[in-house]
A and B are shown apart, each in its own frame.
Chain A
C-alpha cells in the first residue's frame, strides 16, 4: 500500500486519502493552499528574508513526493531528516555552500534530485496535469551538455559590459508564431507585438540580461541549456546565427536617443533601464514599488554578478531563498552549469528562458557590461538569471533541497539527472518531463532515443502551435532530427549557436567588439526592442521604445508571436497614457495602486519558493483551484473575485456627533419639556362656578336701585358741573357765533346702542343750533344714522319747543358710503358725492356747493375710527387747499374721548363735547336743564357706586391675595 506523508504534520497516510488522518489537511496541496506559509508579495516589494527551511512543510505534495522519490536512494543522514514531522531544509547559509562545493567535483553525477523525484512519482497529479508551458520550459532548459565548456575559469564577464552598440544577432530565419496557449495572455501579446516590430530596438534591459548571461558563461557557470546552445553556436559564426533580431547599433542609438528626448517611460520600465545602467542611477525602491514583481525580477536578473554580490549585502530584506542564493554566489560559480541552468529554468518561465538564451547572444557587448560592473544594486529576478552562479543559488531555494539527502538538487551532476531521468522515463511520465530528459542527456544514446521520442512528440504538438516546446535536440544539432529542427524557431537556434561561442572567452570578447549584424536578424521584434534599449547603457531616462515594444498598437502582430492576449492593464499602458502626473499620483499612493500583490502573476508565485509566495491559504478555497492548464492543481494562483472584493475599503464614518452649545441647550430644554410631560401632575378640580351669578345680580341690583333712586328722586343731590372746560366753552362760543340761517352739517356716525348717550350729548347742542336758526343738514356714514337722527329730532321736538321738520329746517343727505374715501370726496365736493340733485335743489341747500359753505360741521360719533377719519380727511383737505373751513365741532361718546381729545389739543378740531359730563357742562354753560342735568345725579351716583364697588373689589382681591400668600408661607413652614 502506497503511503503519502502529510505535508503539514508529516504523518503517513494512505495514498487513496485526500486528507490527512491526523491533521485533516489536504494531502495533495498546491503551493497556494498551504496555510500561513507566507503572504502575498506586492509588486515592487522586496521579499523578506526568511528561512525557508521552516516552511518545508508547506511544500506541495507532489514536490514532497518527488523528494521522497529522490531520497529513496539517499544516505542514512537524509533518513534522519525524513523522520522528522516537518523536515526542514538545512540552513542555506551554512550548509549549502559546502554541499555545493563538495558536489562540484561530482558534477557528472549531479542530477536534479527533485526532478528525479518527480519522475519517480508516477501517481503525482501535478505531473499529469503538467501544462504545455511547462513542457516549453523543458524545452528551454536545454541540457547542459558540456560542463567543461561552461566552467571556464577566470573569465569574469562583468569586466566586459555591453555597450549600446551591442545587439543580439538576428536570426536568419523567420520566427515561427509562438502559440503558448497556456501562457498568460499578456505575455502572448507581448510576444506577438514584438514579433511585428522587427525594425525596432530591443530593450536595453534584456540586452543587459544577455550580457550578464555572457558573464555567467565567462565565469564558468553557464547553464546547461545554454551550453547546449553554445555547442550549436560553435558550428556557425556568431555573426551569422544571432539569437535575436536586433537593429543595428546605429539605429538603436538613434532610437534610444529619440526615446529619451521625446517620450516618457513608465516607472516600471524606467526601473528596468535604471537597473541596466546601475552605475548612473541606482534602482530605487519607489520605482520598484510600481513595478510588478515579475518585472522586478526581470530587473534583478539583468544585474551583473558584481551587482549581485553588492546587492546581497545591501538587501537584507530579501527572502531567504534570495539571500541565500546571493550568499552562495562564490560557491555557485564553481557549480556545474547543468545544475545552474536546470535550477534557473525552474524559476523562470519559458519566455524568460528565451530571454536568457537571447542574452547569451548579447555577449557581443562587453563594453556595456563594463558600464554595469559597478552597479550598486540589482533587481531581483534578473539577478537570478543573469549569472548562473547567482542563479543557481537564487533558483535553488531551501525547499528545493532534497530533504532526504540534504543536498541541493542542483548539486547533482548531470549524469545523475540523466540517469534518473532515463530510468524514470516511463509511460506515466508527463510530457514535459519526457522532453526534459532528452535535454539533459544529449550525450548518451539512451538519451538520444528519448530525445527523439520527445522530438516526435514535439512534432506532433507543433501542429498545435507550441513552439516553446523545445527539447534537447534543439540544442544539440547532432542529436536533433531534421523534423525537430524545423520546429525550432530560427532565432532560438541561432541563440544556441551563439551561446556555444561563449565557451571561449577570447572568442566572446572578439564577438563583443564586433558590431552586431542587423540585416539577417530574424529575432522577434519585442526582443529587438528590448535589446536596443538595453544596449544604450548611458541612457538613464525612460526609453519609450520599451513602451513601444510592449504597448505597440499593432496587437495582432504581437499576438502572433506570443499567441496570447495582452492583459488590459498592459495593453492600456502606453507612454502617452501614463504621464508624469499619473505616475506621481501612483507614487503618492504608495506605488501599489496599479499593481498590488493580488496582481502578481500567479505563475510567478507558483515558481517561487513556497515559503515566500504562498498566500494565506486560509483565504484560498477549493473553488479557486485551477482545473486545467499549466496551473492545474494550484489554487489561488489567479486573482479571484475575492481579490477584487478587497480593493475598496469600507468607508469609515465618524460616530462622533458634533453638537454645538446651543444645540445642547436646546436638547436639554427638549429633555426638560419631555420630562415635564412625563411627570404626573395632580389633578386639580376646577373651582365650581355657581350657575346663578349672585355677585353679578347683587351688583346689578344695587346699581339699578341706586340709579333708579337717583332718577326718580330728582333731588339734584349732585350739583351741576360748573367747571370751565375749554373745549366745551369753545363749543358754546362757536354755536353762539353761528350766523342765523346758516346750514349746520350734522354727521350722525354713532350706532343705535349708543343712542342713549349720544342723545344726551347732542340734544343741548341741537337745541342751541335750532335757537340760532340753523338749517340742519344730516349726513351719516352709517346706514342707520338717518334713522337715529330722526329719532333724536323727534325726542327733541317732544321735549322742547322747537319744531324740527324734515325738508323745512333740516335735510337729510342720507347715507354716505365709502368710508374714508367717501368722507374725502364729500369734503372736497359734497354735491358730486351725494349726487342726488333733489336734495341740493331744496331751499336750504341751494347755496351749499362746498364744505366751506356750511356754517358749522358737527360730528356726532361714538366710534373713534369714524371720528378720526373725519378729522384726518378734513386736515388733509385743508393742507391741500387754502379754502376756509367751517368750525369743526365734535360731540362724542365718553369712550371715544381719550382718543379724540388729542386732536382737540393739537387744534385739529375746534370744540369737543364728550360724554354726559360734557353735555351737562354744556347745558350748565348755556343755563339750560336738559337730559344732562337729569341724568347727572344718577350718573354721579352711578360713578360713585362704581368707584365704591371697584374699591371694594380691589380691596377684597388684595386681602385674598395676602391670605393666599400667608397660606403659602404657612404651608412652606
Chain B
C-alpha cells in the first residue's frame, strides 16, 4: 500500500512536471516547490544527522578532550558564521567565511593545477608516444593521426580564444592569416565539442525521459493489474 501511494504521488508529480509542455502552470510550480521543500527538509535532516550531531554535538558531550577542543573551535566558528544573519554583527562572521574560502580555494587550486592542468597537458603531449600506442596495440599511423588531430584541435582552439590583433589601415582589428586559419579550425573543434556536449545533455535528458515514460507505463500497468485483480 505504501508503495502504491508513493507510486501514485510519483506518477502525479511526474505528470505535473510534464505539464510544462503546455506551459508554465500551477501544477508544475507546485511540484517544483514541493521538490524544493522536501529537498531542503531532507538536507536539514541529513545535516543534523550526519554532520552536526556526530561531529559537533556528540564530541562536546561525549567526545574526548581532543574532540571537544575541535568541537568548541568548530562551534565558535559556527556561532560567528551565524552572526552573518544579523547586519550589525555580520562582520563577526567574516573570519569563518575567510577560513572556509581560504582553505577551499587553496585546495581547489592545488587540485586543479596538479590534478587537471599538468596531467592533461602531459596527456596531450603523450598523444605522439607511438611506443606506448604500439604497446596498447594501436598502429603508429592511427596514433600519429589521433595525436595530430588532438594537437591541432588543442592549438586551434587555444588560438581561437586569442583575440589580440593588429589594427589595419581601415581601422579594423584583424588577425593575420595564419592565426585566422588556425582560429577557424579551432572554431570547428569548438563546435564539435559543443555538439558533443549537446549530445550528452540530450542523451541524458532522453534517458531520463525514457525512464519517466517507463515509470509511467509501468505504474499504469501495475494500476491496471491491481484494478483487474
Cβ A820 vs Cβ B104 within 8 A: yes
Question: How long is the Cα–Cα vector from A258 to B46 in the complex, in angstroms?
Answer: 110
Cβ A835 vs Cβ B55 within 8 A: yes
Cβ A915 vs Cβ B204 within 8 A: yes
Question: How long is the Cα–Cα vector from A712 to B218 in the complex, in angstroms?
Answer: 10
Chain A count of residues within 8 A CB distance of the other chain: 66
646-697 of chain A: CB within 8 A of chain B: 693, 696-697
40-67 of chain B: CB within 8 A of chain A: 42-43, 46-47, 49-51, 54-55, 59
- In the assembled complex, which residues on chain A have CB atoms less than 8 Å from the CB atom of B201? 894-895
Q: What's the least CB distance linking B150 to chain A, in Å?
A: 9
Q: Is there a chain B Cβ closer than 8 Å to A84's Cβ?
A: no
Q: What's the least CB distance linking A883 to chain B, in Å?
A: 16
Cβ A906 vs Cβ B120 within 8 A: yes
* Given A876-B115, A906-B119; A756-B211 close (CB under 8 Å): yes
In the complex, residue of chain B having the shortest beta-carbon distance to the beta carbon of A934: B214
Interface centre among B22, B42, B119, B120 (most CB of A within 10 A): B119
Cβ B42 vs Cβ A783 within 8 A: yes
Q: Is there a chain B Cβ closer than 8 Å to A643's Cβ?
A: no
- In the assembled complex, which residues on chain A have CB atoms less than 8 Å from the CB atom of B54? 835-836, 838
* Given A783-B43, A819-B104; A898-B214 close (CB under 8 Å): no
Cβ B39 vs Cβ A905 within 8 A: no
* Given A707-B209, A783-B42, A875-B115; A820-B47 close (CB under 8 Å): no
Cβ B208 vs Cβ A711 within 8 A: no
- In the assembled complex, which residues on chain B have CB atoms less than 8 Å from the CB atom of A787? 42, 46
- In the assembled complex, which residues on chain B have CB atoms less than 8 Å from the CB atom of A707? 209-210, 213
Chain A 425-449: CB-based contact to B (< 8 A → 1; otherwise 0): 0000000000000000000000000
* B-binding segment of A71-79, A564-572, A936-944: A936-944
* Given A757-B208, A894-B207, A896-B200; A872-B111 close (CB under 8 Å): yes
Q: Is there a chain B Cβ closer than 8 Å to A23's Cβ?
A: no
Interface centre among B114, B115, B119, B122 (most CB of A within 10 A): B115
Chain A 903-941: CB-based contact to B (< 8 A → 1; otherwise 0): 101111000001111000000000000010011001100
**Interface bin, chain B:** 35 or more
* Given A820-B104, A824-B107, A894-B200; A814-B207 close (CB under 8 Å): no
Q: Is there a chain B Cβ closer than 8 Å to A873's Cβ?
A: yes
Chain B 194-206: CB-based contact to A (< 8 A → 1; otherwise 0): 0011011111101
Query: Which of A784, A894, A898 lies in contact with B42, CB distance below 8 A?
Result: A784
Cβ B42 vs Cβ A862 within 8 A: no
Q: What's the least CB distance linking B155 to chain A, in Å?
A: 16
114-137 of chain B: CB within 8 A of chain A: 114-116, 119-120, 122-123
Q: Is there a chain B Cβ closer than 8 Å to A958's Cβ?
A: no
- In the assembled complex, which residues on chain B have CB atoms less than 8 Å from the CB atom of A759? 211
Q: Is there a chain A Cβ closer than 8 Å to B162's Cβ?
A: no
* Given A711-B213, A821-B107; A939-B206 close (CB under 8 Å): yes
Cβ A783 vs Cβ B47 within 8 A: yes
Q: What's the least CB distance linking B219 to chain A, in Å?
A: 13
804-833 of chain A: CB within 8 A of chain B: 814-815, 817-821, 824
Question: How long is the Cα–Cα vector from A893 to B206 in the complex, in angstroms?
Answer: 11
- In the assembled complex, which residues on chain B have CB atoms less than 8 Å from the CB atom of A938? 210, 213-214
Q: What's the least CB distance linking A750 to chain B, in Å?
A: 10
Query: Which of B35, B46, B204 lies in contact with A814, CB distance below 8 A?
Result: B46
Cβ A946 vs Cβ B43 within 8 A: no
Cβ B123 vs Cβ A905 within 8 A: yes
Question: How long is the Cα–Cα vector from A946 to B202 in the complex, in angstroms?
Answer: 9
Query: Which of A868, A894, A908 lies in contact with B203, CB distance below 8 A?
Result: A894
Question: How long is the Cα–Cα vector from A841 to B106 in the complex, in angstroms?
Answer: 33
Q: Is there a chain B Cβ closer than 8 Å to A962's Cβ?
A: no
Question: How long is the Cα–Cα vector from A939 to B122 in the complex, in angstroms?
Answer: 36
- In the assembled complex, which residues on chain B have CB atoms less than 8 Å from the CB atom of A237? none
Question: How long is the Cα–Cα vector from A894 to B197 in the complex, in angstroms?
Answer: 9
61-96 of chain B: CB within 8 A of chain A: none
Question: How long is the Cα–Cα vector from A708 to B46 in the complex, in angstroms?
Answer: 37
- In the assembled complex, which residues on chain B have CB atoms less than 8 Å from the CB atom of A869? 108, 111
Query: Which of B46, B108, B200, B211 lies in contact with A820, CB distance below 8 A?
Result: B108
Question: How long is the Cα–Cα vector from A252 to B225 in the complex, in angstroms?
Answer: 148
Query: Which of B46, B199, B207 lies in contact with A757, CB distance below 8 A?
Result: B207
Q: What's the least CB distance linking A673 to chain B, in Å?
A: 16
Q: Is there a chain B Cβ closer than 8 Å to A700's Cβ?
A: yes
Q: Is there a chain B Cβ closer than 8 Å to A341's Cβ?
A: no
Question: How long is the Cα–Cα vector from A872 to B123 in the complex, in angstroms?
Answer: 15
Q: Is there a chain B Cβ closer than 8 Å to A953's Cβ?
A: no
Q: Is there a chain A Cβ closer than 8 Å to B112's Cβ?
A: yes
- In the assembled complex, which residues on chain B have CB atoms less than 8 Å from the CB atom of A943? 202-203, 206
Interface centre among A756, A869, A943 (most CB of B within 10 A): A756
* Given A783-B42, A902-B120; A916-B115 close (CB under 8 Å): no
Q: Is there a chain A Cβ closer than 8 Å to B139's Cβ?
A: no
Q: Is there a chain B Cβ closer than 8 Å to A704's Cβ?
A: yes
Q: Is there a chain A Cβ closer than 8 Å to B110's Cβ?
A: yes
Q: What's the least CB distance linking B98 to chain A, in Å?
A: 14
Cβ B214 vs Cβ A711 within 8 A: yes
- In the assembled complex, which residues on chain B have CB atoms less than 8 Å from the CB atom of A802? none
In the complex, residue of chain B having the shortest beta-carbon distance to the beta carbon of A699: B21
Q: Is there a chain B Cβ closer than 8 Å to A723's Cβ?
A: no
Q: What's the least CB distance linking B222 to chain A, in Å?
A: 12
Q: Is there a chain B Cβ closer than 8 Å to A961's Cβ?
A: no
Question: How long is the Cα–Cα vector from A703 to B209 in the complex, in angstroms?
Answer: 10
In the complex, residue of chain A having the shortest beta-carbon distance to the beta carbon of B49: A814
Cβ B197 vs Cβ A935 within 8 A: no
In the complex, residue of chain B having the shortest beta-carbon distance to the beta carbon of A936: B210
Q: Is there a chain A Cβ closer than 8 Å to B212's Cβ?
A: yes
Cβ B204 vs Cβ A893 within 8 A: yes
Cβ A784 vs Cβ B50 within 8 A: no
Q: Is there a chain B Cβ closer than 8 Å to A897's Cβ?
A: yes
Q: What's the least CB distance linking B188 to chain A, in Å?
A: 16
* Given A711-B213, A711-B217; A915-B111 close (CB under 8 Å): no
Question: How long is the Cα–Cα vector from A938 to B108 in the complex, in angstroms?
Answer: 40
Question: How long is the Cα–Cα vector from A602 to B114 in the complex, in angstroms?
Answer: 97
Question: How long is the Cα–Cα vector from A935 to B204 in the complex, in angstroms?
Answer: 12
Q: What's the least CB distance linking A888 to chain B, in Å?
A: 12
Q: Is there a chain A Cβ closer than 8 Å to B181's Cβ?
A: no
Cβ A754 vs Cβ B114 within 8 A: no
Query: Which of B55, B114, B207 lies in contact with A756, CB distance below 8 A?
Result: B207
Q: Is there a chain B Cβ closer than 8 Å to A588's Cβ?
A: no
Question: How long is the Cα–Cα vector from A931 to B212 in the complex, in angstroms?
Answer: 13
Q: Is there a chain B Cβ closer than 8 Å to A760's Cβ?
A: yes
Cβ B203 vs Cβ A916 within 8 A: yes
Cβ B46 vs Cβ A872 within 8 A: no
- In the assembled complex, which residues on chain A have CB atoms less than 8 Å from the CB atom of B214? 711, 934-935, 938
Q: What's the least CB distance linking B140 to chain A, in Å?
A: 18
Question: How long is the Cα–Cα vector from A875 to B111 in the complex, in angstroms?
Answer: 8
Cβ B210 vs Cβ A942 within 8 A: yes
Cβ B204 vs Cβ A697 within 8 A: no
Q: What's the least CB distance linking A829 to chain B, in Å?
A: 14
159-205 of chain B: CB within 8 A of chain A: 193, 196-197, 199-204
- In the assembled complex, which residues on chain B have CB atoms less than 8 Å from the CB atom of A836? 50, 54-55
Q: Is there a chain A Cβ closer than 8 Å to B158's Cβ?
A: no
* Given A820-B104, A906-B123, A935-B211; A879-B114 close (CB under 8 Å): yes
Chain B 18-31: CB-based contact to A (< 8 A → 1; otherwise 0): 00011100000000
- In the assembled complex, which residues on chain B have CB atoms less than 8 Å from the CB atom of A704? 213
Chain A 723-765: CB-based contact to B (< 8 A → 1; otherwise 0): 0000000000000000000000000000011101101100000
In the A-B complex, the 5 residue pairs with the smallest Cβ-Cβ separation, listed nearest first, are: A872-B115, A756-B211, A872-B111, A814-B50, A906-B123
20 A-B pairs besides A820-B104, A836-B55, A875-B111 with CB distance below 8 A are A696-B21, A708-B213, A711-B210, A752-B39, A756-B210, A786-B46, A818-B104, A820-B111, A862-B204, A873-B111, A875-B119, A876-B115, A894-B199, A894-B207, A895-B201, A895-B203, A902-B123, A908-B115, A935-B214, A946-B202
- Show 9 A/B contacts (Cβ-Cβ < 8 Å), sorted by A: A752-B35, A756-B212, A820-B111, A869-B111, A893-B204, A894-B199, A916-B207, A935-B210, A942-B209
